[in-house]
Structure 1
Amino acid sequence: MPANERLPALVRAAQAEGSLTVNLRADLVAPELERAFEDQYGIDLQIVNPGTARITRQQILQEARAGKVRSDVIESYVHEMDTIYAESHVITHLPRFLRESALDPSLTTEFSAETFQYPFLVAWNTQRVAAAEAPRRFEDLLNPRWANRLVMVQNYEMWYKALFDRLTGDGMSVEEFERVFRHIAADSNVTSSSNPASAFLASGQYTAGININLNSITRIDGAPIAFEPVVGAVPLLPNGIGLARDAHHPAAALLFAHWYLTDGVPILQEEQFIQQSPNETRLDGAPVVRPELDDLDSARLQEWREAYDALLRGGDEVLPAYVRGGTP
């Protein structure tokens, strides 16, 4: 079909379907996205977000095993889209026209197109930490004054991998990385997500958070929380959308994905400080780093997940075997 006829035909087919359900991580702007898409196309859009990425993944994989995936479009971390969701046959190949319609086609893969990134950083309570005592490097957090005053968030294995890639790439040895982060984890309490961690920081229950998602900080108006000067580099974890393999509304799914990657971008960019564009390379002047994904498949992703879980509980194997053994 000629390119100039494809979108009008897709709109007609999607409007005939009448509705769709999408699972999005962009919860900050979900009402704005729903309203804008429905106003433009007259198609009923339901955006769902069950919670953390792990809860979402568990729910969708359970639906897939039952043969009843609810969502027509799925958005999650790119490293999960291109491994777990693709290998479990939850999502299907993105058509070429959809990849080419993205603002930056280089940020698309066979199964996903990047939409935004979450920044994760060290943050601290300014009422409990004087400016002169604020950490500048991760090694600063080994000082005894931080003992049992830190909080870390579970399930952030790609934050852990991104820091490993960056710090060891900058010259830190694997042994030193392990020593530093074992110490930090031993001095940390653990929470289920960044939202309670930020609330604990704001209340002063904990003094500093090690891997806090920036959007959870900015949600708390007037919170006595600072994150600048940034400690080290800022890991950015990219999110991307994919099409459900057995979508109930396939035309509407295609149309929404096209819209989200084009007309929906300005809505995401209204929250750009919180949800960074995939093209961003700095955050308020600080360097950012993305985890290396070229070497990642489901097995290695699971290794990083188990390693990070071991770190938080004080286990033995806090880095994947292929890293400790130096296997490329």
Structure 2
Amino acid sequence: MRPRRLLRQAAVAAAALLLVTACGSSPTATGGAQDGAATDAAAKAQQVYDRLSGLTGDERQKTLVELAEKEGKLSVYTSNTDIDKLVEQFQKTYKIEVSVYRGNSESVLQRILQEQKANYLGVDFIDTNAGELNVLNAEQVLYPYKSELRDKVRKEGLAEGWTAHRFNVFVIGWNTDKVKPGEEPKSFEDLADPKWKGRVSMEVGDVDWFSALYKYYLDQGKSDAEVRDLFTRVAANSKVAKGHTTQGELLSAGQFAITVSSYSHTIDKASAKGAPVSWHPASGAPLQPVVLRPNGMGLMKTAKNPAAAVLFSDFQLTKGQAILGESYRIGSIPQAKDPLAGLKVITVPEQELLNDPKKWDNLYADILRSGQEVK
């Protein structure tokens, strides 16, 4: 069983540039721009970006709104399944029409690379995972977002070329009917105990989570052999699911008792709807460490509507943070009730995944062979 292919390396990104396959409509079929038009668009966008980057406070806000509403449109490509409420409120606040292409993170990346190859100026603003944004930054298609708001973002969300507006937080969760109060594991290592045989679930694509936790244990002084053995023994107790949504539904249904790397918002949403799931023990703090993966926003260098893209970025880091919270997402700017406060947080080694994804893909695939596939 192999995890999903990660489009994180520059070599893969370069290869993807040569692909013109069906991912929505072909960019060339919609009348691709000529090289000169793309160059002109980039020059015009940079003038707007540079102008806005030099402004602060009320002057910046006033100028930004005027320019954005004059543009009147915004094209967003995203993998965020909770984007609708953000777009709806943004359109109510400003006189800007937003069009959205939504797919998984890999299809968003592929579509952008295809369009860039075809010199088709289809997107202004990108909202997707850290890995894919790092590829786009390596391809030099992003313009760095500059704002006083960026200074408020958690340090884990400050990346070269892009800025996080939310985090996916990987947590150990459980079905409260299957794991009674006081029976919860105390750590990931507890799940290697044979008593959890067949009661645990791992997710086939969670190389991000795996690499972060693997390196954490190495940093704690364990040998490589010891860390491999730990993960292998947990995998031997596990049913391997494909997709966090499916895994969350199976956890709620009692198909297994524990998930090792659920998204916190997946469990919180299900719990709010009455499902018997939680990642908070009856007593004490959540199991730690928790793994943090940024999800961010990128401004396209060739944006037709650069001011609107910047305004939407500002919106994501202001009113958007509360909207994300309504969907149980964890925003990138700490709030008064910070769900991460006091927790041991570790981050995905994004650069290492970008540089050598095959190493981590293969290692995780080897580990998962000890598990049982969910049919």
Normalising TM by the smaller chain, what interval? 0.7 to 0.9
Where in structure 1 are there 5+ consecutive unaligned residues?
316-328
Larger radius of gyration: 2
In structure 2, relative to structure 1, the CA distance for the partners of 1:25 and 1:215 (3 Å cut) is: farther
Taking only the aligned residue pairs, the percentage that are identical comes to 28
Which residue is 2:260 aligned to? 210
1:33-182 equivalence runs, <5 A: 33-51=86-104, 53-68=105-120, 70-82=122-134, 84-89=135-140, 91-95=141-145, 98-104=146-152, 107-182=157-232
Out of 310, 315, 332, the residue aligned to residue 277 of structure 1 is 332
State the AA in 2 paired with 1:43. I
Which stretch shows the higher mean deviation, 148-157 or 233-242? 148-157
CA distance in structure 2 between the partners assigned to 1:312 and 1:70 by the alignment: 39
Where in structure 2 are there 5+ consecutive unaligned residues?
1-50
CA distance in structure 1 between the partners assigned to 2:160 and 2:329 by the alignment: 27
Which residue is 1:185 aligned to? 235
CA distance in structure 1 between the partners assigned to 2:167 and 2:213 by the alignment: 16
Q: In the alignment, does 2:364 pair up with 1:304?
A: no
Out of 277, 280, 283, the residue aligned to residue 225 of structure 1 is 277
Which residue is 2:77 aligned to? 23
C-alpha RMSD over aligned residues: 2.9
SS at match of 1:283: coil
Q: 1:248 offset after TM fit, Å?
A: 3.5
Q: 1:199 offset after TM fit, Å?
A: 0.5
Deviations along 1:49-75, whole A, 9 cap, x unmatched? 313x34443444444444446432112
SS at match of 2:352: coil
CA distance in structure 2 between the partners assigned to 1:152 and 1:297 by the alignment: 20
Give the TM-score of the pair, scaled to structure 1.
0.80
Aligned residues: 307
CA distance in structure 2 between the partners assigned to 1:264 and 1:127 by the alignment: 35
Q: 1:234 offset after TM fit, Å?
A: 0.8
Q: Contact conserved, 1:99 with 1:108, CA < 8 A, in 2?
A: no
State the AA in 2 paired with 1:22. V
Give the TM-score of the pair, scaled to structure 2.
0.71
Deviations along 1:206-236, whole A, 9 cap, x unmatched? 2221111111112221111132333331111
Out of 250, 256, 260, the residue aligned to residue 306 of structure 2 is 250
Q: Contact conserved, 1:119 with 1:276, CA < 8 A, in 2?
A: no
CA distance in structure 2 between the partners assigned to 1:156 and 1:60 by the alignment: 24
Which residue is 1:13 aligned to? 67
State the AA in 1 paired with 2:347. R
Q: Contact conserved, 1:114 with 1:278, CA < 8 A, in 2?
A: no
Q: Contact conserved, 1:120 with 1:214, CA < 8 A, in 2?
A: yes
1:258-297 equivalence runs, <5 A: 258-271=314-327, 274-279=329-334, 283=340, 285-293=342-350, 296=352
